[in-house]
Amino acid sequence: MSCNVLHVRAAFFSILLALGLSVNVSSGAVTFKDALDRTVVLEKKAQRVAIVYNYVEYAAVAGEECFQRVVGIGKKAWFGWRKGIWDEYAKACPEIAQIEDIGLLRFGDFYLEKFLLLNPDILILPKWQFDAVDAGLMEKFKEAKVNLVVTDYANQALETHIKSTLAIGRAIGKNRRAKKIVDFYRSQLNLVTGRAGGALARPRVYIEKGQAGAGKVDDTWSKVVWGDMLETAGGKNIADGIIPAGKHGQMEMEQILKSNPQYVFITGSNWVNSNDALIMGYGIDRELANMRLKPFISRLGWKELDAVENNQVYGIHHGLARTLMDFSAIQYMAKQLHGDLFRDIDPVRNLEEFHEKFLPVPLAGTWFFRLQ
């Protein structure tokens, strides 16, 4: 064997090691770590994939093939919770309508027998679903030779966003594309974290999930999901100290009024059977979204809130959290809270660019807006 060939092979394996990827040349086996630093060993890149969440992230990494190798999905978490996103993806990736529904693990409706009959190589699932896998179910997965690939976008940490995305890429043989996505995401998040320092004056902010509508106070978050995102954006979360850290729950109306937020963000989506919810997303025009948001400021006592008096009430898409698109929500909140510091950032254009580069659908509809 010539020296040149040896040098090429040495360079090849150096690149693999730099990516944290181990490949057995004789068998095609792939070894990597997932978001929880669990070691995953596949005989070869997965050809039959099951997913119970983070469908957008999978589509971003998979690229043009979209969901063609996916044999099972947790449909409730997509069609039921993000129907507007499902409908848009069904146009670009019509194969999703034929993918078998395998249910969700956390909510006790996982269809194990159907899942096993699909003979998947891997199951991609988020940590909050993995936590519901007991020893008995884990043993059944092992017997069926199904490898679990755990993601964790929910904790809103850059490190686990990166690990999750690279793990998906390694599992399906899309390493280079996953790396490009990670580089884009890191650069977008840095537009905020690279400027917002610890000494930043933090205005009081209230965030609420808009699924229940204005007639009922819905969930807010402390030190988790939207609470974490708000903190990154430079806001002071009024739920901190009221809702336990790392949890979500409802604040009493009296607590909201007493805290007197300077900014209010209501999250919206296209939830199934939620006729009073703030509706946002693909195919939703701003006029309709504005009409659904307006009743919130008519809640008892809200007219006296600083946020309402100063026209600082916003809608923001709920589905941006716990995803690779969350950078745009963080940018949007930061720009509203600290306009002078983030004046040059265009969250809508940056989200649009993410779609253009990595997703099978274009950005359309309403994802952020100020109440008019």
Which architecture does CATH list for 197-370?
Answer: 3-Layer(aba) Sandwich (3.40)
> What is the pLDDT, as a whole number, of residue 19?
47
> Does the pLDDT at position 71 exceed 80?
yes
> Does the pLDDT at position 24 exceed 70?
no
Q: How far apart are the first and last CA of the chain?
A: 72
CATH number attached to the domain at 27-192: 3.40.50.1980
Question: Structure pTM?
Answer: 0.89
125 Ramachandran zone, left/alpha/beta (phi>0; psi -120 to 50): beta
Residue 66's H or E segment, with its range, is none
Tell me where in the chain the CATH 3.40.50.1980 domain(s) lie. 27-192, 197-370
Instruction: Look over the chain and give the mean of its residue pLDDT values, rounded to a whole number.
Output: 91
Q: H helices of 173-322, where?
A: 175-193, 226-233, 253-259, 286-293, 306-309
> Does the pLDDT at position 352 exceed 80?
yes
> What is the pLDDT, as a whole number, of residue 199?
52
User: Which of the two residues, 275 and 46, has the higher pLDDT score?
Assistant: 46
> What is the pLDDT, as a whole number, of residue 242?
97
Is residue 64 helix, strand or coil?
Answer: helix
